[in-house]
Amino acid sequence: MVDKMAELFTKQQISWLDDVDKEGNIINPKHELYGKNIAGSILHMPAASGSTVGADRLVNLAVHGKAPRKIVLERTDPITMWGAILGNIDLEIEGKEKKLIDRSKLDKLGLEPEIAEFLARAGELLGTDEFIPADYVQIAGVSYKTITETGLELRRHFASKYKFRARNVTINPAGMDLEAWQRQNIPEEFAEKQKEIIDLYVKMGALPTITCTPYLVGSTPPPFTDAFLSESSVVTLENSLFAVRTNREAGLSTLLYAIAGYGPRYGLHLQENRNPKLEVKVETKLSGAVDYGLLGYKIGEIANGRIPYITGISSLPTIEEFKELAAASAASGSVDLMHIEGITPEAKHKMIKLDGIEEKVEIDRQTLDELKKELNTAVPEQIDLLAIGCPHASINEIKEVATLIKGKHLKTGKQLWITTSRTVKEIAQKLGYVSIIEEAGGQVVADTCMVVSPIEDLGFATTATNSGKAAKYLPRFCKQKVVFDDIQTLLSKIIE
């Protein structure tokens, strides 16, 4: 029986997606609260890490009576904040008084009363009553697996009453290939719920991009533009590589801001908040997406909410390398923005100040090798599924797979998914890559990825991946053992 007055304290961030189960138990063995139950407690924590769909997971805990009674944060955290607002959980930010909001400013925006009230409550916690146009919004919280029935009910509610006022709204991956879900062996009940979620978003006015790499399909805000983005890897990449101004929003906050057509100006919308506090010196040569994913993963583990300034990288990473760097750092920690000396715009053009650096750390080859070993929890012989494309695969990655697999075939009992956007898949089809992969026994799967699809219910127990982000979420959220390595090495283990 849970002690309803229990107070729990942690200096480690919590990922609402994969650190907490549906009963409110902390299931991450590396967390200092491992084995504790947070239901009914007063939970003191720094902030949320990992997926921005965590807000939906917190609401789901609240609906089922498994959430904390009160959460006390060390710093502003939109993921936990919006989960608390919509889950009616008491929330406090240490040392920060709730701001008295000038409601007349919201009245002038022409918002519906319910939406105005949500924005006012957010402004009180964020300490701002300045709301700016939300012209570019990207919404996480699209897979039925991640948002659950509670999230579907929330979206039914909003879709029954509102249209999006924001001009450019894109959405994240779903839990299945919307056109070929039967080939994936997705249960029909899941498929029907997933289709409904997409229909609700489209009804409200979203573009059905259905990808976690909108920048690969021509949908990205211009540099130095204010935006409201909630796919964690998109936030990190576009903040860092394109100097877009966005906070790491929750899937639920972007849903509300898209409806309102406005969002709060705070945090990383302000240049003075974009200065680094952690310096990371890379003491090894990086080669390929796996190395960049490992670097991002390690940075996420040590950043603890601080913006890193990275030195020791001499050339601009490829877009594939940068997306793995961004995705892994956001998944293992809560990195929203990183600067790379001489490479990323704000560092290259000296738009940031370095006098606030609090700590300097070095990351060498041994550190990356030890992390890689830790992420591998199975051996190649156990692989059931090799899944590439988290974040969604680029056309270059699909070409690499097609080149390596041409004329060969998967071993018996092995499956291969290349997960990507519908747009990139269509390009790959025209170039002949899809037919090559299919002839070898693999699939190019659109609209989804291995993390947000219900792979744990499809007979898979061990998944291989080249993604640091996937390696973080697969063990607890998808109940998978993991084999983590580069594309060429992994393919060699499953083809004849």
> 376-494 has which CATH code?
3.30.499.10
Q: Are 374 and 478 in contact (CB under 8 A)?
A: no
Query: What are the b/e assignments for 469-491, b being 16+ CB within 10 Å?
Result: bbbbbbbbbbebbbbbbebeebb
Beta bridge partners of 481: 462
Q: Are 52 and 251 in contact (CB under 8 A)?
A: yes
Residue 13: partners with Cβ closer than 8 Å, 6 or more residues away: 45, 46, 47, 48, 49, 50, 304, 305, 333, 334
- At 5 the pLDDT is 64
- At 97 the pLDDT is 84
Q: Are 120 and 104 in contact (CB under 8 A)?
A: no
- At 184 the pLDDT is 94
| C-alpha span between 230 and 85 (Å, rounded) | 17
Predicted model pTM: 0.94
Long-range contacts of 486-491 (CB under 8 A, 24+ apart): 486/288, 486/289, 486/290, 487/289, 487/388, 487/397, 487/400, 487/401, 487/404, 488/400, 488/404, 490/380, 490/383, 490/386, 490/388, 490/464, 490/465, 490/466, 491/386, 491/401, 491/404, 491/405, 491/416
Q: Give ∠ CA 437-488-328 in degrees, rounded to 5.
A: 100
User: How do beta strands 90-93 and 262-264 pair?
Assistant: unpaired
Residue 117: partners with Cβ closer than 8 Å, 6 or more residues away: none
Where are the domains positioned within the chain?
Answer: 7-93, 103-269, 274-373, 376-494
Question: Which regions of the chain are under pLDDT 70?
Answer: 1-5
Q: Is 35 left (phi over 0), alpha (psi -120 to 50) or beta?
A: left
Q: Are 289 and 295 in contact (CB under 8 A)?
A: no
The Cα-based distances of 38 to 72, 86, 371 in angstroms read: 13, 18, 29
Amino acid occupying residue 9: F
Written as one string, the DSSP assignment of 396-449 is HHHHHHHHHHTT--BPTT-EEEEEE-HHHHHHHHHTTHHHHHHHTT-EEEES--
> pLDDT tens-digit profile of 19-74?
999 999 999 999 999 999 999 999 999 999 989 999 999 999 999 999 999 999 99
Q: How far is CA 475 from the centre of its chain?
A: 16
Query: 103-269 and 376-494: same fold?
Result: yes
| C-alpha span between 64 and 315 (Å, rounded) | 50
**Tally of CB atoms within 10 A around 269:** 19
Residue carrying structure tokens 């949500």:
118
| C-alpha span between 144 and 454 (Å, rounded) | 9
- What kind of fold does domain 7-93 have according to CATH? Glucose Oxidase; domain 1 (3.50.30)
What SS3 class is residue 103?
A: helix
- What kind of fold does domain 274-373 have according to CATH? Aconitase; Domain 2 (3.40.1060)
Phi, psi of 158, rounded to the nearest 5 degrees: -70, -40
- At 2 the pLDDT is 46
- At 179 the pLDDT is 97
Q: Which of 428, 230, 176, 214 is nearest to 323 (CA)?
A: 214
Q: How far is CA 395 from the centre of its chain?
A: 21
Give the H/E segment covering residue 494. Answer: helix 487-494
Q: Are 243 and 224 in contact (CB under 8 A)?
A: yes
CATH class of 103-269: alpha beta
| C-alpha span between 359 and 340 (Å, rounded) | 16
Residue 82: partners with Cβ closer than 8 Å, 6 or more residues away: 55, 122, 250, 252, 253, 256
Query: What are the b/e assignments for 164-182, b being 16+ CB within 10 Å?
Result: bbbebbbbbbbbbbbeebe
